[in-house]
Structure 1
């Protein structure tokens, strides 16, 4: 029997671009499916959550186009931040010491994340987070679009709304009740994603100390995952390039080892990484 040579298929440029998009979406789905099989962090265990059923599959071209961005959902605001990763706890301590006279306050945060039972949010690159401050002093619901991180500067759409902290605690064990809130932000999420059932993905702790620096609020973070701790600086500013230069000079002056952030806290949580 003669062997046939494999047929080589040449794609048009526009078809190749669509194919690469679909392949990337499928790889992301597989990665999230693998992450879902990992045990949840300590923060979620007391509530006895079970992971949402997630399976890897090829995303259709229509889904890829529809889910490319969450920007329309959070069109009311764009967050621009300098994001620098500190080398270790010693670097974190050096920053705190250098800024001790400018200290404002410390927040002990609990961050919990939600997705649709059919991944309606993650397929649109949306992140829904409920953050508790100092146990139940404040609860803040946030919906973020995909964040772009480049050279230590993060840009992404964001919309926020305060919740009653006591009521918000109930959503951790009954997440779909969140969708019943008479909330403009929640109803916007429902309308634009079609989500009808939520699952809680778990979360992590963060200790954030705020300082006044160069006319801005500098946030010094100690983010605690079950698998490790990372230290970061974040500064929200409309002029990130100019301020980043000043911040790097400040860190170098005080011998603080750092690098540019390459991923978000949420991505580290989902991937169980410390990148």
Structure 2
């Protein structure tokens, strides 16, 4: 179970001000291409499951790809919990699947998590894309936390969000909101996760 706090910022200006408060220089920057899949009859979403392949590029490094299966996502008062399983996948195979989702059953023969997805919810009529978005993630080491500052680009606009994964989300949220208040940065609880914003055309 992954537990994160998710705080929404209103603009690029507010996001840049937070980054200065976090120290100004991220420990890493990721350019993430997030692509979501389902059966043509929406078999996975009907079972409250989300299937994603993420391609990550970092300056000076070879790109990597990760398959994720998520389920039972809950977001209340800016604290999100989700059952999540992830596994790396060879980058060229990931790109072939993104180009042609119907390669998923064949690829599942040599990839444990893909096989789990295919076996758990059969999609007998094939697979299709659900949607796609780009996310630029700046990671900062602040106090005891790894803080992730996201700029997420959808066809309908850009969302700004701060995330911290923590086993004590209440404490993490209290510390982060105190920092935001100290620097007079407006903020609010995220009301939907990135996947929901993609599907619904929102920035909440």
TM more than 0.5: yes
Partner of 2:67: 141
The correspondence of residues 148-159 of structure 1 with structure 2, limited to 5 A, is 148-159=74-85
The alignment's TM-score, normalised by the length of structure 2, stands at 0.93
Q: Give, in whole Å, the separation in 2 of the partners of 1:204 and 1:220.
A: 16
Check whether the contact 1:91–1:257 (CA below 8 A) recurs between aligned residues: yes
Q: How does 1:41-190 map to 2 (within 5 A)?
A: 78-100=1-23, 103-134=26-57, 137-181=63-107, 182-190=110-118
TM-score, normalization by structure 1: 0.69
**Cα deviation 1:62-99 (Å, max 9, x = unaligned):** xxxxxxxxxxxxxxxx1100000012111101111112
What's 1:233 paired with? Answer: 162
Pick aligned residue for 2:176 from 243, 247, 265: 247
Contact 1:107 1:207 in 2 (8 A): yes
Q: Aligned pairs, how many?
A: 198
Q: Does 1:192 align with 2:120?
A: yes
Contact preservation (8 Å) 1:189, 1:195: no
Conserved 8 A contact 2:131-2:198: no
Q: Does 1:271 align with 2:197?
A: no
What is the CA distance between 1:149 and its match in structure 2? 0.5
Q: Which has the larger radius of gyration?
A: 1
Structure 1 position 179, deviation (Å): 2.3
Larger RCO (CA within 8 A; separation ≥ 6):
2
CA 1:217–1:244 in 2, change beyond 3 Å: closer, same or farther?
same
Gaps of 5+ in 2: none
Match of 2:134 among 190, 202, 205: 205
Secondary structure of 1:80 counterpart = strand
* Shift, 1:101, TM fit: 5.1
> C-alpha separation between the residues in 1 aligned to 2:176 and 2:140?
13
SS of 1:100 mapped into structure 2: coil
Structure 1 CA distance for aligned equivalents of residues 23 and 170 of structure 2: 25
Unaligned stretches of 5+ in structure 1? 1-77
Q: Is the 8 A contact 1:112 1:203 kept in 2?
A: yes
Structure holding more strand per residue: 2
| SS of the residue 1:180 aligns to | helix
Q: Which residue matches 1:47?
A: none
Query: Displacement, 1:128?
Result: 0.6
